[in-house]
């Protein structure tokens, strides 16, 4: 199975470049695609950049130019739920584009929306299981003190649930409430997953999204996000990504 691995920021995936054997680097537009194998499994890794357009463009290239069989996204998210703590890991069972608002079209009436009516995408059971197995193994290894580079006190909880996507960095209680009002089921919010899920569904390719909580999407979010980005995320995301290829 050939995997298209995407991260929105360099820190989230870059370290994995060293694991790629038979590495070939291809440039398309502003992006570089790192193609090769990890543990004998084919991979094409790419940095998407922030937001839904960047994510959709990357996913489309991975499918059409590199013929990947599955898409995997790893990165950070802001928590929308009091049961989640910073560092916890969320495996998506559905992805919702929370910033799409078609409510004024009033149930569409006689209109026939092309392609998608609801901007909510279910993660296929197989893709969800593969992501969950990697995350479980990562946490198991943490308990076993297998990662000297990661703080031994870091023992995250794993959550399976809905992830919200929008072209906004949510950094206020008001912003969180706005999402919660329409989508109370969502565990966390980010800026790419729902776009990748839409492209994956368009082309009939499975996709999984794994998010590590970097902040509480509140007034302190930017500080917490930056701290997590520079101190922790690379080590965590690269170890989880490696486990997707065993």
Stretch that binds ligand ADE, among 84-92, 109-117, 118-126, 184-192 (CB under 6 A): 184-192
Measured CA to CA, the distance from residue 118 to residue 193 in angstroms comes to 15
Contact call for residue 76 and ligand ADE (CB under 6 A) = yes
For the bound state, the minimum distance from the C-beta of residue 57 to ligand ADE, rounded and expressed in Å, comes to: 18
Q: Which of residues 80-99 bind ligand ADE (CB under 6 A)?
A: none
For the bound state, the minimum distance from the C-beta of residue 226 to ligand ADE, rounded and expressed in Å, comes to: 10
Strand partners, 213: 77
Name the residue with the smallest CB distance to ligand ADE: 78
Stretch that binds ligand ADE, among 20-28, 76-84, 101-109, 151-159 (CB under 6 A): 76-84
**Which phi and psi (to 5°) does residue 67 adopt?**
55, 45
DSSP 3-state helix, strand, coil percentages of the chain (rounded to 5)?
40, 30, 35
Say if residues 189 and 163 touch (Cβ distance below 8 Å). yes
Let me know if 88 is a catalytic residue. Answer: no
From the list 88, 190, 192, 215, the catalytic residue is: 215
Measured CA to CA, the distance from residue 3 to residue 72 in angstroms comes to 7
Contacts of 104 (CB under 8 A, 6+ apart): none
Binding characters for ligand ADE, 195-234, by CB under 6 A (x = yes): -------------------xx-x---x---x---------
Let me know if 181 is a catalytic residue. Answer: no
Contacts of 239 (CB under 8 A, 6+ apart): 138, 141, 147, 150
Catalytic residues, by residue number, are 12, 215
Q: Give contact residues for ligand ADE (rule: CB under 6 A).
A: 76-78, 169-171, 189-191, 214-215, 217, 221, 225
């Amino acid at each position: 199975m050939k995997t298209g691995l995407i991260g929105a920021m360099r820190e989230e995936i870059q370290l994995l470049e060293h694991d790629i054997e038979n590495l070939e680097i291809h440039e398309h537009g502003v992006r570089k695609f790192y193609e090769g194998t990890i543990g004998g499994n084919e991979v094409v890794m790419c940095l998407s950049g922030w937001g839904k357009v960047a994510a959709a463009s990357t996913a489309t290239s991975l499918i059409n130019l590199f013929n990947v069989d599955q898409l995997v996204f790893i990165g950070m998210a802001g928590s929308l739920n009091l049961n989640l703590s910073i560092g916890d890991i969320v495996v998506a069972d559905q992805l919702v584009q929370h910033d799409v608002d078609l409510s004024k079209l009033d149930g569409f009436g006689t209109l026939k929306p092309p392609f998608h009516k609801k901007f909510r995408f279910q993660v296929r059971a197989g893709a969800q299981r593969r992501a969950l197995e990697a995350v479980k193994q990562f946490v198991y290894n943490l308990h076993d003190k297998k990662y000297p580079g990661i703080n031994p006190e870091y023992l995250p909880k794993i959550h399976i649930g809905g992830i919200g996507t929008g072209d906004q960095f949510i950094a206020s209680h008001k912003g969180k409430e706005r999402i919660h009002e329409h989508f109370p089921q969502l565990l966390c919010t980010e800026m790419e997953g729902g776009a990748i899920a839409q492209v994956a569904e368009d082309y009939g390719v499975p996709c999984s999204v794994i998010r590590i909580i970097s902040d509480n999407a509140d007034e302190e979010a930017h500080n917490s996000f930056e701290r997590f980005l520079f101190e922790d995320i690379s080590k965590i995301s690269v170890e989880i990504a490696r486990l997707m290829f065993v």
